[in-house]
Amino acid sequence: MVRGLPVRVLDDRDVAVVRDILDRDPVANVFVASRVASCGVDPWRLGAEIWGYVRDGRITALCYSGANLVPVGADAEACEAFAEKARRQGRRCSSLVGPAQQVAWLWAALEGDWGPARDVRPNQPLMAISDPPRIPPDPFVRRVRPDELELLFPACVAMFEEEVGVSPVESDGGALYRARVAELISQGRAFARIEDGRVVFKAEVGAATAEVCQVQGVWVEPSLRGRGLSNGGMAAVVLLAQRHIAPVVSLYVNDYNLPARAAYKKVGFAEVGTFMSVLF
């Protein structure tokens, strides 16, 4: 237990209660659940910490503390305690992300010490689909092969810069980001339509459990936007992901990205919640 705080760093002895809390909202919690499914709860293997908020002798909420700070099942009191733990150790994350109300509570407690943020996105619809897509899939969208990494990587960088506002290749020449893209390809979780050696549409599944997967990095080559490539492309991604990864496909999107939101709804995604992101 952190001195003076009802928060402690969890380990594999706590895995049952961690999974129970994560299972309460499999779609919203898929990122943390996927990490726990792959690595367990032990910080050394996880490469991050999971904090537990203890109330009346029981762990009632979680917070994943790694490259992202992600609250799980937390009320205002738990978020205040997690924020104090984060404040004491200093900022080590590049973002806060998760269910909007929980992130808002965290950020309200941390902004005075950690602010100003580079960007705050308070309203990001969380969407999911479990039925087949409502529109025909693009037959040319497929899994990316390992030998196509050099084709996909520039599109991933372009998407990241456009979406996040910084380059993923600045700090180390792109080694870590390239390794992550290569990992997703090797796992069969990178999808694209490639024409004449050029990626014209792509998306990846960044987090996955046996029940839910989360799509990220949806991107259309800028000169080809407005032609509906994302409609059939996302329908294809949904079918491939449901067939090979998990039966429920989810994503979250910026509220101001109206074309993307319209495309996802056309495919059959429905809003199931709201996320919030704070980027540093």
Q: Provide the β-strand partners of residue 276.
A: 98
Q: What is the pLDDT of residue 245?
A: 98
| CA 198 vs CA 7, 141, 152, 179, 231: distances in Å | 49, 13, 8, 20, 19
Task: List, in sequence order, the alpha helices (H) in the chain.
Answer: 15-22, 30-39, 43-46, 76-89, 100-114, 149-164, 175-186, 229-244, 258-267
> Can you give the residue ranges of every domain in the chain?
7-116, 142-274
Length, in residues, of the chain: 280
Q: What is the pLDDT of residue 271?
A: 98
* Angle ∠(266,272,121) on CA atoms, nearest 5: 90
pLDDT score of 5 more than 90: no
Q: What is the pLDDT of residue 2?
A: 61
Q: How many angstroms separate the CA atoms of 73 and 53, rounded?
A: 10
For 98-143, the three-class secondary structure string (H helix, E strand, C coil) is EEHHHHHHHHHHHHHHHCCCCEEEEEEEEEEECCCCCCCCCCCCEE
Query: Which residues neighbour 183 within 8 Å (Cβ) at sequence distance 6 or greater?
Result: none
Q: How many angstroms separate the CA atoms of 54 and 94, rounded?
A: 26
pLDDT cut 70: percent of the chain above it:
99
Lowest mean pLDDT among 22-36, 131-145, 161-175: 161-175
Q: How many angstroms separate the CA atoms of 126 and 31, rounded?
A: 13
Q: Would you identify the CATH topology of the domain 142-274?
A: Aminopeptidase (3.40.630)
DSSP code per residue over 198-211: EEEEEEEEEEE-SS
pLDDT tens-place string over residues 203-249 = 999 999 999 999 999 999 999 999 999 999 999 999 999 999 999 99
Order across the sheet with 270-279: list the strands.
7-9, 49-55, 58-65, 68-72, 95-99, 270-279, 119-129, 248-252, 212-220, 198-208, 190-195, 142-143
Average pLDDT over residues 78-96: 97
Mean pLDDT for all residues in the chain: 96
For residues 205 and 215, the answer to whether their CB atoms sit within 8 Å is yes
Q: What is the pLDDT of residue 4?
A: 73
pLDDT tens-place string over residues 24-79 = 999 999 999 999 999 999 999 999 999 999 999 999 999 999 999 999 999 999 99
